[in-house]
Amino acid sequence: MKNILQREIPETLEGIGELEPFQGAFTKLRKGWMEEKKVPPPNKATMPHSSKMCSNLKEAIIRTKPRNGMTVSFHHHLRGGDNILVESIRILAELGIKDITLASSSLTSAHEPILPYIKNGTITQIYSSGIRGEIGKAVAQGVMPKPFVIHSHGGRVRSVHTGNIKIDLTVIAASAADVEGNSTGAHGPSAFGSMGYAVIDARYARQVVVVTDNIVDYPCVPQAVTQNFVDYVVKVDSIGDPSKIAGGTTRITKAPMDLQIARLAAQVIEHSGLLKEGFSFQVGAGGASLAVAKYIRKIMKNKDIKGSFLLGGVTSYGVDMLNEGLFKSIFDVQSFDAAVSSSLLTNPYHIEITAGLYANPFNCGCMTNKLDIVVLGALEIDTDFNVNVITGSEGYVRGASGGHSDTASGANLTVVVCPSFRGRIPIVKEKVHTIVTPGESIDVLVTERGICVNPNRPELKENLIKGGIAIKEIKDLAAEVEQITGKAKPIENGERIVGIVEYRDGTIIDVIRQVK
């Protein structure tokens, strides 16, 4: 069967079960929002005054009674410095556990040491918002017996609620915790900021282990995860490489083309009609996206506009805008650099939020649904504005769905910024290899070679033209790019489906086939 974007979706898939084809960003919500299945979080109980402390991670994992076929989850807030995921998988492998489903909120370069465990059957399936590097290459080549599942940040929470992801064990790294497991990422030598992705795991996992390099006096304040969800606590020497956890600072790009695109995007936003008193805003941390914030900040100061909230992955640039009074608040599900932690710790209007509050489509008011303007990147975008942020030009998995489709669906104005081509590889093209975010959610594309407005937003096009912004038809832009780069060489795929891309509502927006 084909989904509404004409992607071929099988009715069932071994290792997954029945698949429901994507029907449009809000079709399923409109139809069956209260009827969707859901599972209860577990009951647990402990005797009063019993200790949760374990002498090491292995002891804790043994006490959770791991078994073959289990699902183990992690958060990725330690960024490229994370040591806990790899160490936990190593211990499980050492214990002889096989057929693990790995459900990490994302996978980064720090996780490449698990590759041998993917190859030897310790890990047989992955649920994640992103996969990169060698792991992304291996899974695209079909190294795992069961298809991997790419979900959005909001979709992950929905999947835990519905039981599609049924977590047996979650190992939660914290930069500070007390002996009962109250924990935070907001302070300590390995501070990493928000723990927003971990909270749903803590609530739903059958067993919850908190790991920290920094046991603090009871009670740990603030508390991102509270003790009533934590089974075991482990003090380790290190939760990872502090220079990669806490050292990073997100800087605005100096690449001229990115800056040019960002400047154009800021003009688009300025004339969109949505940059007004009380607006809310999210930008990605990468390349041109973050740079847009720089120009928006200038415009806000010039025009004396004050925004309501900044959302999302938060950089120190966002914190500066909060401190300057340009925005009233920040809702922080993930801190992109270390400088954010102290703001999170001290400013009550820098609010740590859970991934559910951030983006779960199956609750009555995720933040992305209240967002006015979001600026997002793309690996590819097609002439229907469908965006690929997951597979690269060779067909390997090398990106993340993240909050892309979540924010794009909710925001009043979704701006995609990207170059029209990279090297000799077209970015704007007739057909993207993998769709993550449907074109219906994208309002405008900004490239160095032209700005294209989604035809379903005629009033936006009108506003931009009034503002003196030249608009190009996206088909014309794609043709122009093809003239420069030549036709993109098609990726040589096998027929076997090695992964699926789940839309935030649980329907399947695309599949990923084995790369030859």
Binding site for a copy of itself (CB under 8 A): 26, 29-30, 33-34, 36, 38-50, 52, 158, 161-162, 180-181, 208, 217-219, 221-223, 226-231, 308-309, 328-329, 331, 348-349, 351, 353, 356-357, 360-371, 409-412
Q: Given the structure tokens 């004396």, which residue do they identify? A: 304
Residue in 355, 272, 271 with CA at minimum distance from that of residue 311: 355
Cβ distance to a copy of itself smaller for residue 369 or 463: 369
State the minimum distance, in angstroms, from the CB of residue 348 to a copy of itself: 5
State the minimum distance, in angstroms, from the CB of residue 54 to a copy of itself: 14
Task: Report how far apart the first and last C-alpha atoms of the chain are (Å, whole number).
Answer: 24
Cβ distance to a copy of itself smaller for residue 202 or 444: 202
Q: Which residues contact residue 462 at a Cβ distance below 8 angstroms, ignoring those fewer than 6 apart?
A: none
Cβ distance to a copy of itself smaller for residue 45 or 470: 45
Structure tokens at 429: 């093209």
State the minimum distance, in angstroms, from the CB of residue 412 to a copy of itself: 7
Q: Which amino acid is located at 62 in the chain?
A: I
Q: Which residues contact residue 444 at a Cβ distance below 8 angstroms, ignoring those fewer than 6 apart?
A: 268, 272, 413, 414, 415, 416, 451, 452, 453, 454, 457, 460, 464
State the minimum distance, in angstroms, from the CB of residue 43 to a copy of itself: 4
Distance CA 411, CA 121 (A): 41
Cβ distance to a copy of itself smaller for residue 120 or 346: 346
Cis peptide, bond prior to residue 222, ω within 30 of zero? yes
Residue in 374, 366, 373 with CA at minimum distance from that of residue 158: 366
State the minimum distance, in angstroms, from the CB of residue 135 to a copy of itself: 31
State the minimum distance, in angstroms, from the CB of residue 371 to a copy of itself: 8
Cβ distance to a copy of itself smaller for residue 256 or 365: 365
Secondary structure letter of residue 367 according to DSSP: G
Ranges of H-type helices in 316-431: 316-323, 340-346, 355-359, 404-410
Cβ distance to a copy of itself smaller for residue 41 or 80: 41
Long-range contacts of 63-67 (CB under 8 A, 24+ apart): 63/231, 63/232, 64/168, 64/169, 64/206, 64/207, 64/209, 64/231, 64/232, 65/207, 66/92, 66/95, 66/97, 66/168, 66/169, 67/97, 67/168
State the minimum distance, in angstroms, from the CB of residue 89 to a copy of itself: 24
State the minimum distance, in angstroms, from the CB of residue 459 to a copy of itself: 15
Q: CB–CB of 432/422 below 8 Å?
A: no
Give the Cβ contact number of residue 298 at 10 Å.
11
Q: Which residues contact residue 48 at a Cβ distance below 8 angstroms, ignoring those fewer than 6 apart?
A: none
Cβ distance to a copy of itself smaller for residue 6 or 50: 50
Cβ distance to a copy of itself smaller for residue 117 or 232: 232
User: Sign of torsion, CA 366 369 372 376?
Assistant: positive
Cβ distance to a copy of itself smaller for residue 18 or 217: 217
State the minimum distance, in angstroms, from the CB of residue 364 to a copy of itself: 4
State the minimum distance, in angstroms, from the CB of residue 402 to a copy of itself: 18
Cβ distance to a copy of itself smaller for residue 157 or 444: 157
